Chains A and B, each alone.
Chain A
Amino acid sequence: MNVREVRIVLTRLQSYAGLVFLLLFVPTAVVGCQTLRSSEPIVPIAEYEKMLVGRLDADYVGTENCLAACHYHDQIRLDFEASTMGAQMAADSDLPMIDCESCHGPGSLAIQGLTPEKVAVDAAAGRQTPCDYETLIVLKALPAQAQSLLCLKCHTANATFNLHEWNAGAHALGDVSCFPCHDVHAGPDLITSPKDTKEMCFKCHREQAAEFRLPSHHPVMEGKSFCTDCHQPHGTFHDNLLREETVRATCVRCHGEVEGPYLYAHADLMNDDCTICHADHGSVNNNLLKLSEPYLCLQCHVGHRTSSDPATGETKGVFYTRCTDCHSQVHGTDVPSASGRGNFTQ
């Protein structure tokens, strides 16, 4: 079988694969649409009982029954109701439904024995009426995965694609739940500002916090670039949660002037990994270089001659201060050097 025949076979295989894809995709989509419409809105269901160990007798009582008589959570309630998620409590909002019990579990045991009259008496006496909150789900005691499940339960059915790689991502598998970064009671505005992200990340990633204090660094400490410019904390198929498919693809998003492709490339260094030469967060060397020049380059390259002027050592100074004074196009170039090769000098 010659090359042409192989290509024809491959092309046909691709066509068949596409056909198989459509045959599977279309029925799944049609059946799936119907299922989703009939199951909307999302309601608190079975999984929560599993978390209420030993108290399967609890029942859902609704937010009004839970909070109407107790004013302790008024501000939290107000903030939450005004948030995007709280708005979903409106039956006419066309959004999936969610309320306090969606996360805190069924509340019937917590308010057992409480009456509006008792609350009124306590209020008159200047007391708050405590509910038996220990019968609710103790969220802090849940494993990280169960905490995340509370969020994922709704966010799995509304095409939330920033969570596409969440489950097999480094945070989920590292026992980091949604809670350390997202606080649904933070106020009515639940969207995170990029300015807040470094505090979230540095709570755990202290080594990186120190790296950003080195003399050469990306301006994260200054609040002028953000962890989320490069990383997607919700998970990606890259091991370090990089936003793009490779280190290089992530870097050239902002550093387009060195993206290439070039006629004269730095072997295949430019194919994927800028971190062979550059530190990603901070470095003691200028331009985030991992090691200072010329040692950085000498790790792979034979240095220029050192003994052409033994009296003054002048060429040593020229050749061994910064290689990039002459090889300035080290990321790649389209212009051949005087020798006709790609020495990155032109």
Chain B
Amino acid sequence: MTTLFGQFCMLLIFSLALAAVASGFRDDDPKKILRGIVRRGLMFSGAVIAIGAVALLLDSWFLRP
């Protein structure tokens, strides 16, 4: 059984890994890469959480029979 906290941790880990790879690909300077990891990680996880929130809202209101 999964928990909301567990799912959140999975999202955070995946977002960080994705951000690390994307930032490493985009930049060559370590400082820029580190800043990029934080920015891209937050952006990606924020976007997923926002989409999840919209889906939850639609589920509890519009799509419920």
Real binding pair: no
